[in-house]
């Protein structure tokens, strides 16, 4: 059974930092590209960052220079270090195995678009 469990979401002040973790089982980094999506109320489900099986990394323009994606193969864990957080970063963040490099109307989308965690809430206050 495939399981992805996110943690690390919290409430912080603008300018603060958080590190999200995604620990998974039943899969490995070799299976597919992995990444993080987020969804804020009344917004679409947006790809934040991704890492391919060979380690290539992408970031959405709105997080470049502030967020860093990384992985620990030994711990089966994907991370998202988030610095200089702003109120517009407030969202539920989802860890995903199987990145289709598109945004969705809702997180998670219909079945067949990868494996999704349950999400972790990040709230940034001004």
How is 100-125 classified by DSSP, letter by letter?
Answer: -S--BSSSS-STTS-EE---EEEEEE
Report the DSSP beta bridge partners of residue 5. 23
The per-residue pLDDT for 110 is: 83
The per-residue pLDDT for 107 is: 96
The per-residue pLDDT for 27 is: 87
What is the bridge-based pairing of β-strands 120-125 and 11-13?
parallel
Picking from 48, 16, 13, 53, the residue whose alpha carbon sits closest to that of residue 34 is: 53
- Number of Cβ within a 10 Å radius of residue 122: 22
Q: How far apart are the first and last CA of the chain?
A: 40
Report the distance separating Cα 109 and Cα 64, nearest Å.
25
Q: Calculate the alpha carbon distances from 53 to 14, 30, 45, 93 in Å.
A: 33, 6, 23, 21
* DSSP 8-state secondary structure symbol assigned to residue 98: S
Per the CB < 8 A criterion, the answer to whether 32 and 95 are in contact is: no
pLDDT in tens, the chain (126 residues): 899 999 999 999 999 999 999 999 998 888 899 999 999 999 999 999 999 999 999 999 999 999 999 999 999 999 999 999 999 999 999 999 999 999 999 999 988 899 999 999 999 999
Question: In the block, which residue shows the tokens 């489900």?
Answer: 45
């Amino acid at each position: 059974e495939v399981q992805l469990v996110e943690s690390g979401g919290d409430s912080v002040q603008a300018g603060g930092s958080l590190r999200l973790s995604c620990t998974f089982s039943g899969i490995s980094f070799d299976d597919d590209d992995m990444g993080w999506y987020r969804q804020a109320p009344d917004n679409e489900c947006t790809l934040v960052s991704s890492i391919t099986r060979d380690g290539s990394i992408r970031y959405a323009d709105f997080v470049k220079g502030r967020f860093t994606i990384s992985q620990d193969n030994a711990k089966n864990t994907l991370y998202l270090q988030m610095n200089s957080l702003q109120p517009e970063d407030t969202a539920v963040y989802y860890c995903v195995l199987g990145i289709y490099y598109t945004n969705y109307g809702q997180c998670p989308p219909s079945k067949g678009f990868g494996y999704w965690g349950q999400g972790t809430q990040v709230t940034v206050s001004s």
